[in-house]
Chains A and B, each alone.
Chain A
Amino acid sequence: MISRRELIKTGVAGAAVLALAQCAPKRSATASLWTDDAYDYRVLDATQRGIVAAVAAVMLAGALPAQSGAGESPLTLAVRGVDTAIAGLTPSVQGEVRQLFGLLSNPVIRPLATGLWSDWGDAKASDVTAFLTRWRFSGITLFRSGYDALHQLVMAGWYGNDAAWPHTGYPGPPRIG
């Protein structure tokens, strides 16, 4: 993710990205889908949940099962799993994750850093795919580390759930005895 020295190495453009990201508004108007969730999130606010949902829907495309029955949707489980994963990180690394979300939620800087011009709530899957691909193969390590952080959090947040396992063929832990 993002350290200050990394930013220096990244150069002026990257520093500007972070400077702007740190004045990110607390909430954007795009998170309506996630504002009403009564679940007791430990770290993610509604804006951040909206970002995680948009990213997870694309990262886990083909792996998330179809909604069946009345329970929580698989995507909701994935977002909650990411919340739990972040809550287990050290305070210092949680701070880096907040910086990352600050960058991704800043309406001025997000388009420059990610190539995503619409708000997260309106972003098309193809736009999110383009953003993730741009960061994944970026020549700037700061962006590659941002992609890796999102990848680790989303994958850990989803594949730790029992609901993820039928897709994989993993039978779950054995019974002892």
Chain B
Amino acid sequence: MTMIQDIVAEGLARGWKAYDGSKLDRDVTIDCDVAIIGTGAGGGTAAEILSRSGLRVVLLEEGPLMSSRDFHMLEREAYPNLYQESAARHTKDKGILILQGRSVGGSTTVNWTSSFRTPPQTCAYWREHFGLAEYTPELLQPWFEMMERRLNVQPWAEPPNENNAVLRRGAEKLGIPTAVIPRNVKGCYNLGYCGMGCPTNAKQSMLVTTIPSALEHGAVLYSRVRAQRYVLENDRVVAVECAALDATGLRPGPHTLTVRAKTFVSAGGAINNPALMLRSALPNPYKLLGTRTFLHPTVISSASMPEPVDAYSGAPQSIYSDHFLYTQPFGGPIGYKLEVPPMHPVLMSTTLPGFGAASASLTAAMPNIQVIIALMRDGFHAQSIGGTVELKSDGTPLLDYPISQYLWEGARRALVTMAEIQFAAGARTVLPLHESAEPYRNLADAKAAIATLPMDILRLRVASAHVMGGCAMGANERESIVDGHGRYHQLQNLYVFDGSAFPTSLGVNPQLSIYGMVARNASRLAHSLTGRAAAAIA
């Protein structure tokens, strides 16, 4: 048994100022230079840059602080502990399941490590449509390079697991190019459990990189506290009021935490960021707050392979294809990225259609199941305007995301593509994940069925692990919430540093786009607050 260093336990023993909000025994008020709400890709990156630049930082996180020794590779523990709404967050009409992280490290603690720079085509669209002149691959390159060094982002050098290999093999037979995914790992054990928290600290998530560094530089972390409301005075935020959660982490407990700061950074992720702002009644003169929230709506195709795939084992994502992102221009039919997901018993059984004997026969063949997903690039077309964040009666957020005909058409095309690839790779049967579908024995049958399957919510399985937008950046305050530096248009000292600032979806897994954008904007903020150049963190 190899000893794995427990970075969090060692840091706490060394005196990190990290506190569990559920253990507060009184109301607390603290002061700092910068309060950061959220500890994911945006909050973690900002925390390290700002604290290493000499600023007093307080980090606020709704979920728990956990560490590698708590990560037992069990879905029954990981989903309630590490995901928003126990990994059962849904859109308003229940049509889309949303997977989002909720612990220290945010979604980086549970993501599958895929690390892509923002595509040049996406940057060009933002410059043209949102006036974001500084979003060019050339200007972003040094920030991506810095974060790639910081988080050890490299193309996966090991052979792909069989789940990924099927995608590559099938696509190559059809002349569809694939490539190897860059991953943010160091000394990866190739276990396949990234989605349940990395038990070996190989994944270079915020939990083991930027946040420990920020804490070493004096930052203060409160976990299990929910930011309820920003307090405004004129055009400045002066405090953020938080509920310290109870021991279940689900409900406010008896005590509050109030953080007063000179500057505030919203990094709670898309959905939660606009919800906090709506609860706070922030200026919203053009009623854009929470609108244009994007999901990369994802449809799924399952195949039964003649040989074991063991999709629960090995790096979950190592091969992808962007072919169908770029076979049609922006403004045309929707494009989609092809990847594979890991399969574990709960994820598999809740996602596969049907019940009883039909379901049992599918789950009984788990080792032979191969799965491809198609992530649709939403937000680049008049019929793809995304969803809108609302508040439930208890103040918690709800995303209303109706699926348009434009998206359903893309879903149907993507299901055909995935079936073609799976049969080309030798699948015995292919099952599009739709309640009216069944395992098809050949491509002709699959295509005939897909052509007539009713495209509707709660019939076709639609999921999302990439939530973006809702606090869109742009040059024109009539069309956006924050400027290209992340500053809230109508407020002097509130910044949005995370994926909620993206004005469209990305077309790639979002973490590296967040790291690069936030590294630049947080460095700019550090410079403006201290008068000195920001610390380079790698």
Contacts and interface: CB of A to CB of B under 8 A. Distances in A.
B360 interface: yes
B251 A91 contact: yes
Which residue, B74, B85, B355, has most C-beta atoms of chain A within 10 A? B355
Nearest to A132: B355
Contacts of B344: 170
Contacts of B9: none
B72 interface: yes
Given A61-B356, A90-B396, A173 B94 contact: no
Contact of B191 (A137, A160, A170, A176): A176
Contacts of A160: 74-76, 345-346
Interface residues of B, number: 52
B73 A137 contact: no
A152 B88 contact: yes
Nearest to A63: B360
A13 B392 CA distance: 24
B364 A158 contact: no
A174 B313 contact: yes
Contacts of B458: 141, 144-145, 147-148
A169 B457 contact: no
Interface string B321-353: 000000000000000000000001110111000
B368 to A, nearest CB: 8
Contacts, number: 131
B94 A145 contact: yes
A68 interface: no
A1 B94 CA distance: 7
Which residue, A91, A93, A144, A155, has most C-beta atoms of chain B within 10 A? A155
A165 interface: yes
B346 A155 contact: yes
Given A1-B94, A60-B360, A168 B345 contact: yes
Contact of B193 (A147, A161, A170, A173): A173
B363 A167 contact: yes
A88 B396 CA distance: 16
B365 interface: yes
Given A159-B346, A174-B191, 5 more contacts: A129-B356, A137-B436, A152-B350, A159-B363, A169-B365
Interface of A: 1, 3, 5-6, 58-63, 81, 84-85, 87-93, 129, 132, 136-137, 141, 144-145, 147-149, 151-152, 155-156, 158-161, 164-165, 167-170, 173-174, 176-177
